[in-house]
């Protein structure tokens, strides 16, 4: 007996309902109610008037921004040479870059800590720097892979054509390569920026005791305050949704641009 | 009916079935009692000891954890009462996790939270009182009533919540103090006799503490009150203990504000608010002093010893937090089921049998409240087995009468170095306990106030940027 497409979709629909839709509804319920179960928007107002919460949001965003920028800076040339550089054993090099992803990241960070302690001594003196290093190390493969995939498919002849028409290196990069690889940049940035805002395990391990969004949410739940905790999650969800929307727009625009070229 | 509505119906019915499973009390076909127990992670003897780990006590008793205590309980219960019982054992990370799990609908019959969480549960009227027979010392199997230290029993009798005695609801499982583990090669004992070592710029980024609101608040409050607590007038007061307890349970707004100031500075000074790296960092020497509970401290010292590093434990002179974890029965889950209540109480008693208490202490390094009596002094023997001095000439007397009873002398002859090491950590002296305080749960808006204080300390302060 053959399954119809709808029947095959049932497991996914079920998963979606149980583990995505239902939990989200619970989060929304708590976000917009108070202790006695009445509807309120006070939690929402409180978040945006709480200077500490905003401070945490800024701090998380700064960490995520720097991490993403560093990842992009390192990953972009890396991915380009792997995809187009015609270097011998390119696949093996790519494997080496991706290999760390196969190892649990806390284990990798523990190893990283030993190296950093050797270099800078007491790690506790530079919590911010170490957080950035740890995050960049952790998320780099997530930036390289999408970039590599896009660049692999990129038509190299377009770059040659630009050169033939007299474009300088800078112009080639800025006007041709970057627009062509925009989908990879967008998905790489999304995959790094958003987790970097909440991955507090890296901060814990790097002796940075300042809260970021993830730990702030956790702190509300351990103080039995589910309402404010859920509200922060909701705000974060909205921010992430907004960013995805913007990046999707950006991605679509660049694809159009690519088509015109 | 089209395909889509079939799919939706199917989803809903399956979801309902799944939820139904969760709520269903797993009732086996036969009359096996199912006891749902929740305990902290790594907080019970899980058995599987090597044969050479066998503990041979002075009177020839051999103690070896072959099976886990949970398995042994199931066997023992059937042998003793002729009734099958199956323990569904689960674990949690923190008291707050347990509380949240139970609020979300997870049902447990017997749980083991810390003193403040027991108080919170008592306050919310969610606990089932212990049965009348539980403290009947005439019943042989009432090991807790028969063998628990009178000192701990007294503490449980004195603690009240809403006019109910803690001892009516809870049996102690482990207990201890809050103190500072330090590296004696780098830090002098006098320096760690005050909580303000955590703020001492001399050891900037070389001292640490746990990421815990309550412990931090306690330390901050002790620093705030240090001068007062150490003044001769205060120490000489008739109501010294009550005053100390009152001051250390002060959660008024003004006090919380002052403690916030202290803890903000402390946070700048400490290595980190560590989650679980503290033990390793002490062994490697990155951290020289660490605020810890006595149970963790013993574990840290044991681990360090294996790596050839000697660490010591100090209880600051201001005061210490007397903490304990205890077994309590949940009212909603057990309800009127007397068979289940019987099994739950038997579980507490089984863990209180001195040989089992020793197995736990060996396995997890914490201190059991079980002291034994004149007929069963296994725990005292175990203490002597662990800490008795090999060289009688240098040995010093260590009096533990308050814990084991004053009827016969209970004075261990121990190595002098044990005076600030594992022996002292596991069984503090009576004068340490004279300055101990039980830190109650934060009630009402105090909980929110202190949670906010902690968030303030931990969050990035935008105003400091400009």
Tell whether B286 is within 8 A of chain A (Cβ).
yes
Tell whether B86 is within 8 A of chain A (Cβ).
no
In chain B, list all ranges with CATH 3.40.190.10.
Answer: 25-175+324-381, 178-321+435-465
Chain B residue nearest residue A57, CA to CA: B460
The whole-angstrom separation of Cα B310 and Cα A202 is: 30
- Torsion over CA: A38, A40, A44, A50 (sign): negative
Tell whether A59 is within 8 A of chain B (Cβ).
yes
Q: How far is B458 from chain A (nearest CA, A)?
A: 5
What pLDDT is recorded for position B27?
Answer: 47
Which two structure tokens, joined as six digits, stand for A82? 């792997």
Asked if B460 lies within 8 A of A55 by C-beta distance, the reply is: yes
What pLDDT is recorded for position B3?
Answer: 46
What pLDDT is recorded for position A102?
Answer: 85
Tell whether A18 is within 8 A of chain B (Cβ).
yes
DSSP annotation of B193 reads: G
Set of chain B residues whose Cβ sits within 8 Å of the Cβ of A204: 211, 275
Q: How far is A88 from chain B (nearest CA, A)?
A: 42
Q: Which of B391, B413, B365 is nearest to B181 (CA)?
A: B365
Q: Which residues of B51-75 are buried (b: 16+ CB within 10 A; e: fewer)?
A: eeeebebeeeeebbbeebbbebbbe
Looking at the domain assignment, is residue A62 inside a domain? yes
Q: Give, for B338, the enclosing helix (H) or strand (E).
A: helix B338-352
Q: How far is B417 from chain A (nearest CA, A)?
A: 30
Asked if B273 lies within 8 A of A127 by C-beta distance, the reply is: no
- Torsion over CA: B373, B377, B383, B389 (sign): positive
Set of chain A residues whose Cβ sits within 8 Å of the Cβ of B451: 219-220, 223, 225
Global pTM reads 0.86
Residues 409-448 of B with CB under 8 A from A: 447-448
* Residue range B398-434, pLDDT digits in tens: 999 999 998 889 999 999 889 999 999 999 999 999 9
Listed in sequence order, the residues at least 6 apart from B303 whose beta carbon sits closer than 8 Å to its beta carbon are B279, B283
Domain range for residue A163?
51-260
The whole-angstrom separation of Cα A67 and Cα A259 is: 31
Looking at the domain assignment, is residue A165 inside a domain? yes
| Total count of domains within chain A | 1
Tell whether A26 is within 8 A of chain B (Cβ).
no
Q: How far is A130 from chain B (nearest CA, A)?
A: 13
Ranges in chain B, pLDDT < 50: 1-28
Set of chain B residues whose Cβ sits within 8 Å of the Cβ of A122: 205-206, 271, 286
Asked if A10 lies within 8 A of B11 by C-beta distance, the reply is: yes
Phi, psi for residue B57 in degrees, rounded to 5: -90, 170
CATH number of the domain bearing residue A55: 1.10.3720.10
Q: Give, for B111, the enclosing helix (H) or strand (E).
A: strand B110-111
Rg (chain A; Cα; Å): 22
- Extended strands (E) in B261-311: 273-274, 289-293
Residue A16, sorted as left (phi over 0), alpha (psi -120 to 50) or beta, turns out to be alpha
Asked if B272 lies within 8 A of A216 by C-beta distance, the reply is: no
Asked if B205 lies within 8 A of A122 by C-beta distance, the reply is: yes
Set of chain B residues whose Cβ sits within 8 Å of the Cβ of A13: 7-8, 11
Chain A residue nearest residue B459, CA to CA: A211
Looking at the domain assignment, is residue A27 inside a domain? no
Residue A211, sorted as left (phi over 0), alpha (psi -120 to 50) or beta, turns out to be beta
Residues 250-279 of B with CB under 8 A from A: 267, 270-275, 277
Residues 217-256 of A with CB under 8 A from B: 219-225
What pLDDT is recorded for position B400?
Answer: 94
Which two structure tokens, joined as six digits, stand for B54? 């066998």
Which two structure tokens, joined as six digits, stand for B1? 């009916």
Looking at the domain assignment, is residue A117 inside a domain? yes
Q: Which residues of B140-179 are buried (b: 16+ CB within 10 A; e: fewer)?
A: ebbbbbbbbbbbbbebbeebebeebebbebbbbbbbbbbb
Q: Which of B38, B89, B76, B19 is nearest to B352 (CA)?
A: B76
Task: Out of A7, A209, A215, name the one closest to residue B272 (CB).
Answer: A209
Task: Out of A6, A22, A58, name the one closest to residue B460 (CB).
Answer: A58
Looking at the domain assignment, is residue A253 inside a domain? yes
Q: Does domain B178-321+435-465 have CATH number 3.30.1490.20?
A: no
Q: Is A158 exposed, middle or buried (0-12, 13-18, 19+ CB in 10 A)?
A: middle
Tell whether B394 is within 8 A of chain A (Cβ).
no
Tell whether A99 is within 8 A of chain B (Cβ).
no
Looking at the domain assignment, is residue A45 inside a domain? no
DSSP annotation of B323 reads: E
Looking at the domain assignment, is residue A40 inside a domain? no
SS3 content of chain B, % helix, strand, coil (to 5): 50, 15, 35
B25-175+324-381, which class in CATH? alpha beta
Q: How far is A132 from chain B (nearest CA, A)?
A: 16
Tens of pLDDT along chain A (261 residues) come to: 678 888 888 999 999 999 999 999 999 999 999 878 888 888 888 888 888 888 999 999 999 999 999 999 999 999 988 887 777 887 788 888 888 888 888 899 989 988 998 898 888 889 999 999 999 999 998 999 999 999 988 888 888 899 899 889 899 988 888 998 988 998 899 889 988 988 988 998 888 889 999 899 988 888 888 898 999 999 988 988 888 888 777 766 655 443 333
Task: Out of B94, B206, B275, name the one closest to residue A204 (CB).
Answer: B275
Asked if B7 lies within 8 A of A205 by C-beta distance, the reply is: no
Looking at the domain assignment, is residue A193 inside a domain? yes
Chain B residue nearest residue A59, CA to CA: B460
């Amino acid at each position: 007996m053959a399954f119809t497409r709808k029947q095959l979709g049932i497991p996914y629909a079920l998963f979606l309902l149980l583990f995505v839709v239902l939990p989200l509804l619970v989060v929304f319920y708590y976000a917009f109610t108070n202790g006695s179960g009445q509807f309120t928007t006070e939690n929402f107002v409180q978040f945006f008037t709480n200077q500490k919460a905003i401070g945490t949001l800024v701090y998380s965003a700064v960490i995520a921004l720097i991490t993403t920028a560093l990842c992009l800076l390192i990953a972009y040339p890396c991915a380009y040479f792997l995809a187009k550089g015609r270097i011998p054993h390119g696949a093996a090099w790519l494997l080496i870059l991706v290999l760390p992803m196969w190892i649990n990241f806390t284990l990798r960070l523990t190893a990283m800590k030993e190296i950093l302690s050797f270099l800078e001594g007491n790690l506790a003196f530079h919590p911010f720097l170490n957080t950035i290093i740890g995050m960049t190390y952790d998320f780099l493969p997530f930036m390289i892979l999408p970039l590599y995939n896009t660049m692999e498919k990129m038509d190299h002849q377009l770059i040659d054509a630009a050169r033939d028409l007299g474009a300088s290196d800078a112009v080639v990069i800025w006007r041709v390569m970057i627009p062509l690889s925009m989908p990879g940049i967008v998905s790489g940035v999304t995959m790094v920026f958003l987790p970097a805002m909440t991955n507090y395990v890296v901060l814990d391990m790097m002796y940075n005791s300042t809260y970021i969004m993830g730990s702030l949410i956790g702190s509300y739940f351990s103080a039995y305050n589910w309402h404010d905790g859920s509200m922060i999650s909701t705000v974060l969800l909205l921010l992430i949704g907004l960013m995805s929307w913007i990046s999707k727009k950006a991605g679509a625009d660049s694809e159009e641009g690519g088509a015109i070229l | 009916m089209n395909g889509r509505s079939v799919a939706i119906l199917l989803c809903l019915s399956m979801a309902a079935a799944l939820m139904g499973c969760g709520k269903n009390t797993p009732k086996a076909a036969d009359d096996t009692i199912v006891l749902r127990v929740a305990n902290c992670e790594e907080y019970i003897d899980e058995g599987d000891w090597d044969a050479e780990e066998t503990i041979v006590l002075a009177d020839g008793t051999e103690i070896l954890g072959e099976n886990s205590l949970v398995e042994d309980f199931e066997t023992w219960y059937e042998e003793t009462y002729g009734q099958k019982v199956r323990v569904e054992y689960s674990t949690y990370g923190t008291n707050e996790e347990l509380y949240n799990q139970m609020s979300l609908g997870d049902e447990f019959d017997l749980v083991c939270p810390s003193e403040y969480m027991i108080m919170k549960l008592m306050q919310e009227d969610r606990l089932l009182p212990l049965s009348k027979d539980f403290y009947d010392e005439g019943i042989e199997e009432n090991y807790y009533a028969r063998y628990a230290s009178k000192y701990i029993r007294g503490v449980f009798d004195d603690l009240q919540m809403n006019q109910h005695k803690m001892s009516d609801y809870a049996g102690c499982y482990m207990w201890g103090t809050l103190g500072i583990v330090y590296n004696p090669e780098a830090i002098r004992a006098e320096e760690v006799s005050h909580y303000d070592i955590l703020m001492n710029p001399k050891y900037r980024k070389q001292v640490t503490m746990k990421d815990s609101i309550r412990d931090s608040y306690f330390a901050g409050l002790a620093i705030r009150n240090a001068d007062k607590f150490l003044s001769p007038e205060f120490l000489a007061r008739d109501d010294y203990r009550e005053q100390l307890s009152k001051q250390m349970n002060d959660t008024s707004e003004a006090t919380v504000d002052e403690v916030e100031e202290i803890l903000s500075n402390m946070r700048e000074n400490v290595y980190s608010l560590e989650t679980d790296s503290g033990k390793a960092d002490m062994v490697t020497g990155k951290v020289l002093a660490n605020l810890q509970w006595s149970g963790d401290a013993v574990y840290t010292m044991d681990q360090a010893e294996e790596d050839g590093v000697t660490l010591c434990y100090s209880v600051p002179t201001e005061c210490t937090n007397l903490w304990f974890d205890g077994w309590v029965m949940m009212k909603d889950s057990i309800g009127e089921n007397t068979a289940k209540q019987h099994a739950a109480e038997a579980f507490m008693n089984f863990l209180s049998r001195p040989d089992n208490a020793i197995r736990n202490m060996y396995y997890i390094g914490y201190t059991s409240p079980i002291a034994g009596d004149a007929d069963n002094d296994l725990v005292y023997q175990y203490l002597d087995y662990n800490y008795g001095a090999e060289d009688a000439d240098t040995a010093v007397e260590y009096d533990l009468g308050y814990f084991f009873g004053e009827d016969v002398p209970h004075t261990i002859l121990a190595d002098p170095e044990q005076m600030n090491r594992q022996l002292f950590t596991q069984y503090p002296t009576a004068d340490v306990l004279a300055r101990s305080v039980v830190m109650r749960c934060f009630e009402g808006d105090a909980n929110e106030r202190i949670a906010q204080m902690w968030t303030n300390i931990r969050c990035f302060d935008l105003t400091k940027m400009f």
